[in-house]
Amino acid sequence: MDKKIINQVINIVGPENVLTDNEERICYSYDGTFKRGIPDIVVFPGNTQEVVSIIKLANSEKIPVFPRGAGTGLSGGSIPQANGIALVMTKMNKIKEINENDLLAVVEPGVITGHLHQEVEKLNLFYPPDPASLKTCTMGGNIAENAGGPRAFKYGVTRDYVLGLEVVTPTGKVMRTGGRTVKNVTGYDLTRLLTGSEGTLGVITEITVRLIPKPKYKKTALVIFDNLDDAAKTVTVVISEGVIPATLELMDRITIACVEKNTKLGLPLDAEAILLMEVDGSDAQTTEEINIIQNICKKNNCRRIEVASTFEEREKLWKARRAVSSAIVQLKPTKISEDATVPRSKIPEMIRRLREIATKYNLNLPVFGHAGDGNLHPNIIADKSDKEEMERVEKAVSEIFEAALELGGTLSGEHGVGIMKKPYLEWELGEVGLEYLKTIKKAVDPNNILNPGKIF
The residues that touch other proteins, with contacts defined as CB under 8 A, are: 19, 21-24, 26-34, 44, 70-72, 90-91, 112, 114, 133, 135-137, 325-326, 329-330, 333-335, 383-385
Closest CB to other proteins among 90 and 158? 90
Closest CB to other proteins among 377 and 441? 377
Q: How far is CA 436 from the centre of its chain?
A: 24
DSSP assigned state of 303: E
Q: How far is CA 116 from the centre of its chain?
A: 17
Q: Is 156 helix (H, G, I), strand (E, B) or coil?
A: coil
218 forms beta bridges with: 280
Of 374, 329, 378, the residue nearest 355 (C-alpha):
378
Asked if 64 and 44 touch (Cβ cutoff 8 Å), the reply is no
Closest CB to other proteins among 27 and 265? 27
Q: To the nearest whole angstrom, how small is the minimum distance from the Cβ of residue 30 to other proteins?
A: 5
Of 148, 228, 136, 151, the residue nearest 196 (C-alpha):
148
Closest CB to other proteins among 15 and 213? 15
Q: To the nearest whole angstrom, how small is the minimum distance from the Cβ of residue 412 to other proteins?
A: 18
Closest CB to other proteins among 19 and 231? 19
Q: To the nearest whole angstrom, how small is the minimum distance from the Cβ of residue 335 to other proteins?
A: 6
Q: To the nearest whole angstrom, how small is the minimum distance from the Cβ of residue 350 to other proteins?
A: 24
Closest CB to other proteins among 137 and 271? 137
Give the number of other CB atoms < 10 A from CB of residue 3. 8
Q: Where are the beta strands (DSSP E) in 272-415?
A: 273-281, 302-308, 334-337, 368-370, 379-382
Q: How far apart are CA 333 and CA 326, in angstroms?
A: 10
Closest CB to other proteins among 31 and 130? 31
Q: To the nearest whole angstrom, how small is the minimum distance from the Cβ of residue 64 to other proteins?
A: 20
Q: To the nearest whole angstrom, how small is the minimum distance from the Cβ of residue 133 to other proteins?
A: 7
Q: To the nearest whole angstrom, how small is the minimum distance from the Cβ of residue 31 to other proteins?
A: 7
Contacts of 442 (CB under 8 A, 6+ apart): 448
Q: How far apart are CA 58 and CA 64, in angstroms?
A: 7
Phi, psi (deg, nearest 5) at residue 213: -65, 145
Phi, psi (deg, nearest 5) at residue 25: -65, -35
Q: Is 413 helix (H, G, I), strand (E, B) or coil?
A: coil
Closest CB to other proteins among 236 and 334? 334
Q: To the nearest whole angstrom, how small is the minimum distance from the Cβ of residue 401 to other proteins?
A: 21
Of 76, 68, 79, 6, the residue nearest 39 (C-alpha):
79
Q: To the nearest whole angstrom, how small is the minimum distance from the Cβ of residue 323 to other proteins?
A: 9
Residue 367 Cα distances to 11, 323, 336, 342, 347, angstroms:
50, 14, 12, 13, 11
Q: Is 93 helix (H, G, I), strand (E, B) or coil?
A: coil
Closest CB to other proteins among 230 and 339? 339
Dmax over Cα atoms in the chain, in whole Å?
A: 73
Q: To the nearest whole angstrom, how small is the minimum distance from the Cβ of residue 149 to other proteins?
A: 15
Closest CB to other proteins among 262 and 294? 262
